[in-house]
Structure 1
Amino acid sequence: MPVAKRRAAVQEARAMHDIRLIRDDPAAFDKALKRRGVEPAATGIVAADAQLRAVQTEMQTAQSRRNEASKLIGQAMAAGNKEEAERLKQEVAALKTHVPELEERERTLRSDLQAALSALPNLPADDVPDGLTEADNLFVSDWSEKPAFDFAPREHDEIGAPLGLDFETAAAISGSRFAVLKGGAARLHRALGQFMLDVQTAENGYEEVAPPLLVRDEALYGTGQLPKFAEDQFRTTDDRWLIPTAEVPLTNIVRDSIVPEGSLPLRFAALTTCFRSEAGSAGRDTKGMIRQHQFDKVELVSIVRPENAAAELERKTRAAEGILERLGLHYRRMLLSAGDMGFGARKTFDLEVWLPGQDTYREISSISWFGDFQARRMNARAKLDGSKQTTFLHTLNGSGLAVGRAFVAVLENYQRADGSVAVPEALRPYMGGLTELSPA
């Protein structure tokens, strides 16, 4: 199937909003969209849905009449009523032309409705604060104190250069927003990823997964990156996509499936390289390792019963916070405002680590609850005990943590005046017992 047609088919197959809720209370739907900074859409959606259902009803009626008339032809012939039989034949012939027209009309209307719904973000949870920017985010808590230095702390790119962090060579090889890590810097980066994955799997109950790094349209559509954010992704010449996060393959493990209740909750963790074009971030964080085209991350995905999602969000957030605490890094937890959340999120906590060289907090993990938004797009359901019908699952994901940003945080928080960097105690077993990195 050609790519454009396949992408359209993917969009037609999944509804990411419950159309019944929009029909029942369009004002509430528009009110929730307004909190996200999105113009009212319920009136158009309800009208398009009504038009679609009218055509579907007409199509079903025509199909039923065609089948009925076809049977009546035989009865009329058997009764010797040739005039009636001829009339019925003409009616069937007309219906054979009309039904395909209705089917095509139904496909067009369904595609248009799904395209309209695909462009709309998830609705925020009731306890998400109002606001459209990060200035409206709500402080929740913090941990430990900012480190004190008896010298002016430097930024990570300056600290890391003598330790093996090389942006110039990377630029010559690949262009901007890439890094080459050598020697101690490479070892520290590797240690961070291994440490995070070990903690999340051995202590926090996540199952380790090594997923594909290339995915099809359906996978990105299921988690909400397509169609709206295609320009933020890297696409191959054979129409696959490099994953922007392991959230995509991990969440799609349950795509088009009915998960037995006894299997829930599902918790997956993966340490992967991720790829983002950063098309919408021109001029932002061009210096250093904060915003790169290629980076490593430990991703945590949970798939749960709807009633357990709120508790799972807190559990997942604590799993990410635990890594920062084990590394001895001061951080704060922020509850994102309705307009600052990601497209598919229903509620999001950001963990922001303190970077003394930059004298600011920077996001190091974003933990989100998606409600059934992704599950509807993926058709991921559960058969719960005592229920005759299936239920859409709830999905959650978050970083546990972004390895590159953790690397930046360790360099800046553990730097010394002589240019060396102390190795956090939690990482020393992964560093062959090294207690510090010294300039070459």
Structure 2
Amino acid sequence: MKWPTNKTYFYCQNHGFDIWQQQVHAHASLFAARDEQTWLLFDADSYQFSVLFFALLAANKSIVLPQNGQPEQLAQCLAQAEAFTGVADNTYAEVAFNIHIGIEQAVNTVIEVDENAAIRFFTSGSSGVPKAIDKTFSQLLIEVKELEQQFSEQMQQTIMVATVSHQHIYGLLFKVLWPLYTGRDVCFNSFDYPEHLLHFINLQNDSHDFVVISSPAYYHRLVQDNVLVAIKHKLRCLFSSGGPLKTAAARQLACQLGDAPIEVLGSTETGGIAWRKQNAHDHWQAFSTIKLKLDDCQRLIISSPYVDNGQWYQTDDRVQLLTNNQFNLLGRADRIVKIEEKRCSLDEISVKVNQSDWVLDSYVLLLQHDSSTGKRDEIAAVLVLTEVGEQALEQLGKFKFSQALKTHLKAFFEPLVIPRKYRYLTELPYNSQGKLNKAQVEKLFD
């Protein structure tokens, strides 16, 4: 497969497609000279990541993408790879990005990519350990083509900007592959705060409009003090994924900026399933490549070219099917939850909590707050302590004890998904059938 020679311009590096292509070829030569076949790739810099990603593909290597750059996560994922490339603390890169190679090298050939090249993602699994999700490059490209078919009309002469990471499938598709495939200009900087995005847009000339790729958490904060109102005429469209956008926020954004975000529903396993724009309708419209049906528990089952070669795949979303391949979400059916679009497994967190010498047993739960209170949802844990743990709790006190537990968990998880509240019991409240009394546990946090 020949990768398109579209003339993308990268505003983060002031580089065009030709220089990017030269750097990909130069780095591909470095990878091709290595015997290792499977490479773990993590680099927080989106431009460097994109060069290394395509260089690995051009060198006919397989890629493993970790959930994040936390040291224990990288160590676990590196066990399924032969070598590391990119930039991460405490992890040595056998091949790293080098900005000086390839710049002066003339490249007359396009990038050749094996469409069956293997890419392994990691996401939180219900078994309590990170779950490996295997894709081929062709599956990702099919999804990019579907996005272009569905949304291209409103994206002509635009610069794509994002607040999300390229390490996850949403950011990889929307921030890296889509602009590269279609030749759209893109800024690979990450805009953590709306003020930074506003400043960047104000520095550009008026010949381009902008497409914003972000998350519900970002938009929920934005509506409270929307500094982007001043440049709303430059915002062609907004994309959101990672979880449903609250209706009140979607409608408020429509009032402030003239249009609600386009929300994309999906996961690492499924790829994009459906989309909606809440100022037009609240239901979800499945993409043209997706077929839908339900099981007996109203869980959505899909047929998708992005997963299992179109075989039927059961999701954990409960839905109400409508006409014309549309549906309404009714909620999730498992223990996978999202905190500000960070997907995590409550069971996985519990497994890591139990690895502490202080903890005999634990139950991790999601505390959901009414949006009107201004409080965000948070994760909590109920612990049964070992004798050593009880002694530590007595010596340290609850605050220092919980801080020590959080430090233990930071080796595995990003801070946002680490339990914030803790309760202590002598035993978890199981009934005679061995089932946990969840209502009793939840009352501990009232």
TM-score normalised by L of structure 1: 0.20
TM-score normalised by L of structure 2: 0.20
Q: Which structure has the larger Rg? A: 1
Higher strand share: 2
The higher relative CO (CA closer than 8 Å, separation ≥ 6) is in 1
